Amino acid sequence: MLLVVPCVVENSRFLCMQGSEAFLRGVLESMQSVYLNRNPTAKAILELVHSVENNSLCYDHLAFRTFGVNGYGIDSMASFFMDYGYTPREELRFPAKKLRALWFSPPADSQDGGGSGIKGPLPRIFISELIVDQMSSQTQEIIRKYTASSGNGNKYAALASSMGLLTWENPSHSEFQQLASESEYAAWTLVNGHALNHVTISAHRLKTELRDIKNLNRFIEESGFRLNSEGGVLKVSPDGLLLQSSTVADSMSFQFTDGVTESVPCSYIEFAERLVLPQYKDLPATEVKEFHRRDGFEVGNADKIFESTSKDQLSRVGS
C-alpha cells in the first residue's frame, strides 16, 4: 500500500512538496506555456520584468473565461482548482456585461515555490462566466451548439487549457461575428475556450522601484507597450487599496470553418498592487506579508480590465 508521507525535509523544498501540489504547478506551467507561445507582448513584458527584477517575480492571479450554460460555466474550470486545494471566495457581478465571476484563494498549506512566476507562491484564480440565458436567442443557439458538440468537454476544461485546445470545433466567421456584435466576451471565449486569459504580476512584491504600479506602468509604456486606457490606465478600487492596470491583448490568426482566416483577440498581461490594510499601517515594511494587504477583487476595476480584449482597445494599438 502506498502511504502519503508528510513533508519532513526542510532545506529541499521541491523534494518535500506534496505530489498533488507538484502536479498542480505542472498544469499551471503548461497553461502558461500555451499563453507565452501565443502572446508575444505578454512574453516580452515578462522577460523584461524578469531581467530588471533579477528573475524573481510573483503572480497575483491567473484568469479564465467560460460560458455559463450546460455545465460549461465557472465550475468547469473551478473543479480542477478546488480538487487541488483552492477555496471559493467572493462572487462579483457585472449586469451590463451579463457576466459573473468568482475568485479562489490558493491552498493555505502550499509551499512558497522557491522560484519565480508559477514557481513562486501559488496565485489566486479568477474565473468568470457569461450568463448565457440573458443573451439573444441567436447567440444562445450558437453557444449551446458548440458546447453541446464538445461532448463531455466541460469535464476537461483544465486539460484543454493546459494543452491549448478547444473542446469544441472551430466556429464559422459569421457565428463569431454574431457573438461579437452582442458580447465581445462571448466571441473571445468561442475562439479561445479555456486558454489562460491573463497572468497578473504582483507589483508590490517586486524588489525595485517597479513595485510602485505607477512606475511599472510608465516603464511598460516607455518600453513601447500599450496599456488598456478604458476609464484611465490605472484602475483604483473605491477604498484606494487595489490598483490595477493591463496591456491591450495580443491577436492571433484564427481559421474559421467557412474558409475565412482572420486575426482575433487573444490574451493580455495585468499588473496589480495591493496596499497594506489600514489596521496594519504601522507595521515595519519588512514585516508586511501578503495577508496584511487588501485581498480580493473589485467590480469597478474588473469591469474595465475586461476591455483589454475589446475591439476599441485593440484598434488603438499603434495609433
Q: Given the rule CB under 5 A, which residues bind Ni ion? A: 63, 200, 270
- Smallest distance from the beta carbon of 82 to ligand OOG, in angstroms? 19
- Other CB atoms within 10 Å distance of the CB of residue 101: 22
- Other CB atoms within 10 Å distance of the CB of residue 256: 18
Q: Which is nearer to Ni ion, 34 or 62 (CB)?
A: 62
- Smallest distance from the beta carbon of 189 to ligand OOG, in angstroms? 9
SS3 271: strand
Look at residue 104 and give the partner it binds from ligand OOG, Ni ion, none, a contact being a CB closer than 5 to 8 Å depending on partner kind. none
- Of 129, 306, 313, 314, the residue at the interface with ligand OOG (CB under 6 A) is 306
Quick note: the x/- pattern for ligand OOG over 121-160, rule CB under 6 A, is: -----x-x--------------------------------
- Other CB atoms within 10 Å distance of the CB of residue 3: 5
Look at residue 237 and give the partner it binds from ligand OOG, Ni ion, none, a contact being a CB closer than 5 to 8 Å depending on partner kind. none
Q: Does 78 contact ligand OOG by CB under 6 A?
A: no
How far, CA to CA in Å, does 209 sit from each of 120, 203, 204, 206, 213? Answer: 20, 10, 10, 8, 9
Nearest Cα to Cα of residue 268 among 29, 65, 89:
65
Nearest Cα to Cα of residue 118 among 247, 32, 53:
32
Q: Return the residues of window 194-233 that contact ligand OOG according to CB under 6 A.
A: 197
- Of 24, 34, 42, 63, the residue at the interface with ligand OOG (CB under 6 A) is 63
Look at residue 167 and give the partner it binds from Ni ion, ligand OOG, none, a contact being a CB closer than 5 to 8 Å depending on partner kind. none
Q: Which residues contact 192 (CB under 8 A, 6 or more apart)?
A: 65, 264, 266, 267
- Smallest distance from the beta carbon of 37 to Ni ion, in angstroms? 20
- Of 217, 237, 301, 313, the residue at the interface with ligand OOG (CB under 6 A) is 301
Cα 81 to Cα 92: distance, rounded to the nearest angstrom: 18
- Smallest distance from the beta carbon of 272 to Ni ion, in angstroms? 7
Contact 269, 46 (CB under 8 A): yes
Q: Which residues contact 77 (CB under 8 A, 6 or more apart)?
A: 64, 66, 127, 157, 158, 161, 194
Quick note: the x/- pattern for ligand OOG over 97-116, rule CB under 6 A, is: --------------------
Binding residues for ligand OOG, per CB under 6 A? 63, 65, 126, 128, 197, 244, 270, 297, 301-302, 305-306, 308
